[in-house]
Structure 1
């Protein structure tokens, strides 16, 4: 699988040795063969036509390595040196280093390359001894940042500069921007597929194993709850570690796991924090009102699901309200939704057990996976456990008009005491799989996004410890080795 252009970095590998110019295996080709696995995971090669031909003819030697030629014909050495020097200066941000094996008496060709590398601050190895040190010196753990420029209250350039100032010293940082016409989860899945093609079974990688010279890249998500959910959700059960740089309004997932919600604090957590395994989740539903069974949709999610009141609340809280009032915008939306929400019939079943099926009248159904203490509708038990392999489900029992108020008061008390007061107006459940249908159909809230569903069952399924997330050291009992390796 070829490397996406936004992730490509290059090592320039050149040789003036007689063996390589005569299309025989010279010292540079031998060096590439020895280090091909490390090179393939970290970069592509730009090389001279003679070395390129040998690597193409002997493709069994470098089956994983992407190789491109710098020019079509070798020409004279002075012209090729100028071409390489100009390439270094024009593409310095994409070049990790240069390996050039010159003949002992060649000083003319050396001049242009040394000046170009010095000006661009790019490491240059001029013999095999220094070339042997390059892989260890250059190839730090890769961090791939998916950055949503539309998120946040500050200019995105300001956030990006702060992120780069902290992370570039610890990681080989590569940045991918979200696109308006492309689903963020699809971008994340494409990157995940590339990582797995390069690194093999990422579930077998131990980030804290010092004997592993090239741990799989860490995937970083920077944006609001929707962006974070889409990116982290794509990694469920993949073994890939995720770092979060929250730049949204609520930042619920970060708050729930104790991740700082400022850019600097979040980046420092990624550098100095440790991996924690928490539960992931999926939901499947029909998103049309037709009887077409093929319309079933499955989505990964990480934080909070809801039907009824909460979906209407988020729908009423416009982008303008959030930009103007921040989290208080949700309070304004809540007032509007209290006036609009009507009771509905909820029929549910737990863990595929027909005996558990029940039908009640309600105004809100909340399914919590990893949820912040401030999420009041998630506090049926007074707290949400993010790594127990179970959802916390809270359903308001509505028989009379004042029952909703009594249920909200009970949830507020639960939130305060971090325990359940046992209100008869709240039905609180724990399960690994939750199937629910609503009549009339209710909108589905999923990690801050509102989706249309019909009256057919919506099925939530927990993925125990399916997510690897970088959290502050104080919030994990895992190994104290930091994620930057």
Structure 2
């Protein structure tokens, strides 16, 4: 499953050669012009009997494919050809076509939890508010020119975004009520730039990490991001954190939503839950 606009090494021709050299040259081949076209093709591959689904692309492409195959026996093998590649980095998959193919064919198979927001699965993190706004603002052209710096540049545009009235229930108990600038749900704890948003996140514990940020303005966000970069995030005075199996949130006005770095439509409410051991990834055997 290949996002034809993404590049890595010698591009898709190198991927074809690597698969052929490994004896998998006769495998089904699916290309899409954008990640939102991937789920239909991924489901088709499953219906045709695929056992391993190679995904060439970034976190958004991987998320779309993972959502399509969640709950099946198909193994997802990532070839990280995106900008941030957060999930591939966490899984220990290098930005090397031949090495990624070898892991996909011969690596360890391991079941991972997923998060699920309003019926759609994510592997790393979902966010509403500040996080989603800066991701949507870091459009494709800017990401191509500036890479990971795109996220930090766009963050500067949103540090003064007004807080929104937010209510969050965790496992049916009221947990937060007040003004907030960001709600994060984490399955894996690291975000763009290598910043650890959730120090205790684990994709094997059957829970989602939950964080609410109340930071507003350049100074408070600078303090919050500095704490995230140099110490435990939960020690910031502008962050509240917990974990849960189910999350329900309401907002007084629509806020942008993102799943694994892919912007979605604004929402005034969301329901999330953990999907335990919902997908199999191919990972290096040393892990």
**TM-score of the alignment, normalized to the shorter chain, above 0.5:** yes
Q: Is the 8 A contact 1:253 1:371 kept in 2?
A: no
Residues 244-290 of structure 1: CA distance to partner in whole angstroms, max 9, x if unpaired? 11111011111121111232321222233111111122211xxxxxx
Q: Give runs of aligned pairs for residues 50-199 of structure 1, distance below 5 A.
A: 146-152=1-7, 158-168=10-20, 169-171=22-24, 172-179=26-33, 183-195=37-49
1:220 equivalent in structure 2: 54
Q: Is the 8 A contact 1:367 1:392 kept in 2?
A: yes
**Partner SS state of residue 443, structure 1:** strand
What is the rounded CA distance, in whole Å, between the counterparts of 1:224 and 1:411 in structure 2? 24
Residue 261 (structure 1) aligned with residue 99 (structure 2):
no
What is the rounded CA distance, in whole Å, between the counterparts of 1:180 and 1:358 in structure 2? 37
| CA shift in 2, pair 1:313/1:179, >3 Å | closer
What is the rounded CA distance, in whole Å, between the counterparts of 2:164 and 2:276 in structure 1? 31
**Coordinate RMSD, CA, aligned:** 2.4
Shift of the alpha carbon at 1:399?
8.1
Q: Is the 8 A contact 2:55 2:62 kept in 1?
A: yes
2:148 equivalent in structure 1: 327
Residues 28-87 of structure 1: CA distance to partner in whole angstroms, max 9, x if unpaired? xxxxxxxxxxxxxxxxxxxxxxxxxxxxxxxxxxxxxxxxxxxxxxxxxxxxxxxxxxxx
Shift of the alpha carbon at 1:307?
0.8
The count of aligned residue pairs is 285
Residues 445-465 of structure 1: CA distance to partner in whole angstroms, max 9, x if unpaired? 11111111332x201111111
What is the rounded CA distance, in whole Å, between the counterparts of 1:228 and 1:423 in structure 2? 31
Shift of the alpha carbon at 1:151?
1.4
1:88 equivalent in structure 2: none
What is the rounded CA distance, in whole Å, between the counterparts of 1:472 and 1:301 in structure 2? 21
2:286 equivalent in structure 1: 474
| CA shift in 2, pair 1:445/1:375, >3 Å | farther
What is the rounded CA distance, in whole Å, between the counterparts of 1:374 and 1:448 in structure 2? 9
TM-score, with structure 2 as normaliser: 0.89
| CA shift in 2, pair 1:373/1:319, >3 Å | closer
Richer in helix (by share): 1
Residues 433-454 of structure 1: CA distance to partner in whole angstroms, max 9, x if unpaired? 1111222211001111111133
**Partner SS state of residue 5, structure 2:** coil
1:389 equivalent in structure 2: 206
Q: Is the 8 A contact 2:8 2:95 kept in 1?
A: no
**Partner SS state of residue 332, structure 1:** helix
Shift of the alpha carbon at 1:319?
1.4
| CA shift in 2, pair 1:323/1:474, >3 Å | same
1:118 equivalent in structure 2: none
| Uncovered stretches (5+) of structure 2, i.e. residues with no partner | none
Q: Is the 8 A contact 2:257 2:263 kept in 1?
A: yes
Q: Is the 8 A contact 2:167 2:177 kept in 1?
A: yes
**Partner SS state of residue 254, structure 2:** coil
TM-score, with structure 1 as normaliser: 0.55
| Uncovered stretches (5+) of structure 1, i.e. residues with no partner | 1-145, 196-215, 285-297, 476-485
Shift of the alpha carbon at 1:403?
3.9
Match of 1:372 among 190, 194, 199: 190
Residues 199-236 of structure 1: CA distance to partner in whole angstroms, max 9, x if unpaired? xxxxxxxxxxxxxxxxx621111112111111122111
Q: Name whichever of 441-450 and 401-410 sits farther off.
A: 401-410
Q: Is the 8 A contact 1:256 1:373 kept in 2?
A: no
Residue 426 (structure 1) aligned with residue 270 (structure 2):
no
Shift of the alpha carbon at 1:376?
6.5
Q: Is the 8 A contact 2:159 2:221 kept in 1?
A: no
Residue 448 (structure 1) aligned with residue 248 (structure 2):
no
| CA shift in 2, pair 1:450/1:378, >3 Å | farther
1:61 equivalent in structure 2: none
